[in-house]
Amino acid sequence: MKNRNPKQKINYLICATPRSGSSLLCNLMANTGIVGKNNSERISTDLIKSTDWNKVDLKEFFKKIFGSTSTPNGVSGFKIQGHQIKNLVKELNKTHRYRKVSVNNIIKFFPKNLKYIWLSRKDKVRQAISLSKVWKSGILFINKKKKRRPPIDIAFDSGSIMGAVEKIREEEVIWRNFFEKNKIEPLKLEYEEVTRDFRGTLIKILNYFEVPVPKSLIVKTYLLKQSDELSEKWIERYYKTSYYKKIPSLYKYKFFQLLYEISYKLRQNYKPYNKFIDFVKEKLRI
């Protein structure tokens, strides 16, 4: 790892999609005390809608937000989801001052030498089921400090899950295009990796930031994993409503998971495949 000047500030952005584990990652990072504080969503829908952007200096706006999340060692940052940056640009475009701002060029208003963490999730169906449950229950996360999980009485809805899958994919495209257009190589993390190894994830981030790993690195979170028995039942039921009803549910799940992982890797690393998929979706109107 390179030696960083202790006085050099580090700003980072966690680029996420809904239910990709961004709240968990932010909580883990904040609890270390050395990679930013209050680093959860700082550009909420309410903020976007209530701000008079004609009167805002966008560079100062971002500078202030990053500054408010800084830990004493000069590390600051926060998370933002694909739909949030898209909605922010939409509101900015309503003004004369920022009418030419786009998702891909808003980077010019960010601090220089910004570091990016791209957080995604391999299993899009589990992610979509989690998102669908949030839409129906309104429960974003569960705090460990509470003795019991809140009861969730919601009905299975395959249409809601399919809509959630599409939303997640759309937001991933937003970030993929953003990184490609700006020639950015972010630190890529996946939900499955984060939840499997908290400490390893934090060390990877610290190395990326060129921040020394303390001997007594604090690794803790107050958030509980929300996947439960209901989630498992919904996963099985979701695949049973697919076109491949005759395939046993276990093999069906594995088949679709493998198929998606192959497609996901191709979309990340092979541009002609992206164009082909977009062409097919346009023709099929999906």
User: Which pTM was predicted?
Assistant: 0.77
Residues 143-183 have pLDDT tens digits of 555 544 445 567 788 888 888 888 999 999 999 999 999 99
* Cβ atoms of residues 53 and 98 within 8 Å: yes
- Say which residues have a Cβ less than 8 Å from residue 23's Cβ, sequence separation at least 6: 40, 140, 141, 223
Q: What is the pLDDT of residue 62?
A: 97
Taking only the tens place, the pLDDT of each residue in 192-208 is 999 999 999 999 999 99
The residues, ordered by sequence, that sit 6+ positions from 224 with a Cβ below 8 Å of its Cβ are 141, 142, 143, 144, 149
Percent of the chain with pLDDT over 90: 57
DSSP three-state, residue 117: strand
